[in-house]
């Protein structure tokens, strides 16, 4: 069976699936969300340990295949998780998935808008490294800031490309996400903060005063770190930039 239209590579090493379950600390009390069950290897392992599994598969042929193979405690949904209405998703506590690579970013931020206790997700290695990157490193990005703001994040295991069929070009990583009880730092306008973060990383080689002046018409003397580049600023410092912009916009 080849990759789906979302570029999914199917896990063929059951020991990795078992590791995912252990990292997520799945118990018989847990309702687990799995996105992109594919051929069902991880689904079957999850079903042995969890109370129930909500498996959301966009590919109809895979969905039809899974219907005949999964146990009764697996609730299959044939849909796009990113377009599925909230009322159609049963409440879940944990998320364990081998994500199709192409939805890595949108699904991660979709997840941050939902209540969950812990997630153990498979990502491409480069993407995972960007998730945990610190300011001043080559992997530091808008993704790094967004993940840091919402969750505690760590790479728990590197997974060889040999563990998949078809074999991808790069290795993958298992990443643990635990949502913060409160954001890593407070900003008055969260929407503005993420808009500013996007703006600055779209011009990451420029001093931040330039895109801020172009976009908001705010002079550099009213903005902290005006002569720095965004790639050198910590998420907290970007938050302070956002707060200064919010203050100036309210004054104008």
Other CB atoms closer than 10 Å to residue 210's CB: what's the count? 13
Report the pLDDT value the prediction gives residue 252, as an integer from 0 to 100.
80
Model confidence, pTM: 0.94
Q: Is the dihedral of CA 82, 88, 92, 96 positive or negative?
A: negative
Domain ranges across the chain: 10-179, 190-251
Taking each helix axis from N to C terminus, what angle separates 235-251 and 209-216, rounded to the nearest 10 degrees? Answer: 30
Report the pLDDT value the prediction gives residue 2, as an integer from 0 to 100.
42
Q: Which residues in the chain belong to E strands, given as ranges?
A: 10-11, 31-35, 52-57, 74-78, 94-98, 118-124, 151-159, 164-165, 172-179
For residues 219 and 201, give the distance between their C-alpha atoms in angstroms, rounded to a whole number. 19
The CATH number of the domain covering residues in 10-179: 3.40.50.150
For residues 58 and 165, give the distance between their C-alpha atoms in angstroms, rounded to a whole number. 19
Task: Provide the token pair at 139.
Answer: 């992997």
* Residue 217: strand pairing partners: none
Q: Is the dihedral of CA 66, 72, 78, 83 positive or negative?
A: negative
Report the pLDDT value the prediction gives residue 7, as an integer from 0 to 100.
60
Q: What is the pLDDT along the chain (252 residues), one digit of tens a residue?
A: 344 455 678 999 999 999 999 999 999 999 999 999 999 999 999 999 999 999 999 999 999 999 999 999 999 999 999 999 989 999 999 999 999 999 999 999 999 999 999 999 999 999 999 999 999 999 999 999 999 999 999 999 999 999 999 999 999 999 999 999 999 999 999 999 999 999 999 999 999 999 999 999 999 999 999 999 999 999 999 999 999 999 999 998
Residues contacting residue 3 through CB under 8 Å, at least 6 positions apart: 9, 166
| Beta pairing class for 10-11 and 164-165 | antiparallel
Name residue, tokens 């993704």: 143
Pair 109, 146: CB distance under 8 Å: yes
For residues 54 and 32, give the distance between their C-alpha atoms in angstroms, rounded to a whole number. 6
Task: Provide the token pair at 212.
Answer: 């801020």
Report the pLDDT value the prediction gives residue 6, as an integer from 0 to 100.
53
| Beta pairing class for 31-35 and 52-57 | parallel
């Amino acid at each position: 069976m080849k990759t789906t239209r979302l570029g999914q590579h199917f896990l063929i090493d059951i020991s990795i699936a078992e590791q995912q379950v252990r990292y997520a600390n799945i118990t018989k009390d847990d309702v687990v969300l799995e996105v992109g069950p594919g051929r069902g290897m991880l689904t079957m392992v999850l079903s042995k340990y969890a109370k129930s599994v909500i498996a959301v598969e966009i590919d109809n042929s895979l969905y039809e295949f899974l219907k005949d193979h999964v146990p009764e405690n697996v609730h299959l949904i044939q849909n796009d998780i990113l377009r599925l209405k909230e009322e159609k998703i049963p409440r879940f506590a944990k998320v364990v998935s081998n994500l199709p690579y192409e939805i890595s970013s949108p699904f991660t931020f979709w997840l941050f808008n939902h209540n969950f206790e812990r997630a153990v997700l498979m990502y491409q290695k480069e993407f995972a490294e960007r998730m945990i990157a610190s300011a001043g490193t080559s992997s530091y990005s808008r993704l790094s800031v967004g993940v840091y703001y919402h969750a505690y994040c760590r790479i728990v295991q590197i997974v060889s490309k040999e563990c998949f069929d078809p074999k991808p070009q790069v290795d993958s990583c298992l990443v643990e996400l635990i949502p913060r009880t409160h954001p890593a730092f407070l900003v008055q306008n969260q929407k503005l903060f993420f808009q500013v973060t996007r703006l600055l990383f779209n011009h990451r080689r420029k001093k931040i005063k330039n895109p801020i002046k172009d976009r908001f018409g705010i002079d550099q003397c009213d903005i902290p770190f005006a002569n720095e580049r965004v790639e050198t600023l910590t998420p907290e410092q970007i938050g302070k930039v956002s707060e200064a912009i919010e203050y100036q916009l309210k004054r104008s």
